[in-house]
Amino acid sequence: MAFEGVKKCAVSSCEESCYEPRNLCREHAVPGALVCVGDGTGIVTSWYAEREGERGLIVIDDQELGEMFGGIEGFTAKLKSQGFEKARILRTPEEVASARIEILKAFAYWSGPWRPQYPWETGRPAKYEIN
């Protein structure tokens, strides 16, 4: 079952039912790790990105991916607008493992959950800021 109360695809323009255990339909479904929240489930996606020579992983759940960005293409565009380069979804456990090795070469302090706004977008110091 999708997250509590979610019955149709999280992409607002889509009327299809969720493709269990996702919050997206078959057409918009994304690869990732299954998470359980209360009685509901969803998919957390991992994304590789680079910015100013640093490399990191960004994670976002499929409901936010659908509701806020309409899917992979919209989120990729958002990451680009936030200054990220080479942003891409990691589709398999092997891709995630490979990306982790690459990230260790130039680890980014911004790795972690996606943020609506990163420090460099606000004019605050971008490096090594702790939230």
Bridge partners of 60? 45
pLDDT of residue 3: 75
DSSP state of 41: E
pLDDT of residue 125: 59
Q: Where are the alpha helices (DSSP H) in 11-114?
A: 62-69, 72-81, 93-103
Do the Cβ atoms of 129 and 121 come closer than 8 Å? no
Percentage of the chain modeled with pLDDT above 90: 71
Do the Cβ atoms of 44 and 63 come closer than 8 Å? no
**CA 64/CA 50 separation, integer angstroms:** 21
Ordered mean pLDDT values, 10 residues apiece, the chain (131 residues)? 78 92 93 89 94 95 95 96 96 93 89 92 62 44
> Which residue, 65, 74, 70, 72, is CA-closest to 114?
65
Instruction: Give pTM, 2 decimals.
Output: 0.85
